Amino acid sequence: MDTREALGSWIDGPKAAAEKMGADFGYRGERLGLPKEGTGSVAGPGRRLGALFVDGWLVALVAYGLITKGSAGTANLWTTPLLFAVTVVLLATTGTTVGKRLFGLRVVRLDGSRATIPQVMLRTVLLFLLVPALVWDRDTRGLHDKAVGTVEVRI
């Protein structure tokens, strides 16, 4: 093995190195019984991050415009609790938020049904802690989803 090949495996990561040695990890969501592509497949991290950004931006806009009537300092205090409330209410009732809907995403339980209110509340608390959302498994499900038995899928 030459130096260039060893450096390439280090940069690509352990999964790429294992795949080069013949390991087959399958596609994202295969272990969960989800399709590879299209409706019901596991959503990619880019879409999920984009949806979260849109939701945060919309809630910040509402907090600034409606709650505080222009006081930026007070709006910052209301943004996080308002985002939490909007996320919990929308995910518990429809399975999606405005941002998730724009990006074609839905949060469901592993059996495909809508997540319950306690599941959605715990998932959202863990999402706001950031660390569980930043630690993924090979299906790109964050710890916040694994803890409550949910997955974010494409619609």
Query: Which regions in the chain score pLDDT beneath 70?
Result: 1-19, 22-25, 67-75
Predicted local distance difference test score (pLDDT) of residue 4: 53
β-sheet bridge partners, residue 142: 136
Predicted local distance difference test score (pLDDT) of residue 88: 96
In a domain, 136, yes or no: yes
Predicted local distance difference test score (pLDDT) of residue 72: 58
In a domain, 24, yes or no: no
Predicted local distance difference test score (pLDDT) of residue 140: 87
Torsion, CA 20, CA 23, CA 26, CA 31, rounded to 10: -150
In a domain, 20, yes or no: no
Predicted local distance difference test score (pLDDT) of residue 133: 85
Rounded Cα gap, residues 116 and 110, in angstroms: 12
Predicted local distance difference test score (pLDDT) of residue 77: 77
In a domain, 105, yes or no: yes
Predicted local distance difference test score (pLDDT) of residue 20: 72
Structure tokens at 110: 């592993």
Full residue range of the structural domain in which residue 66 is found: 34-154
In a domain, 70, yes or no: yes
In a domain, 16, yes or no: no
Number of compact structural domains in the chain: 1
State the sign of the Cα–Cα–Cα–Cα dihedral 71, 77, 80, 81: negative
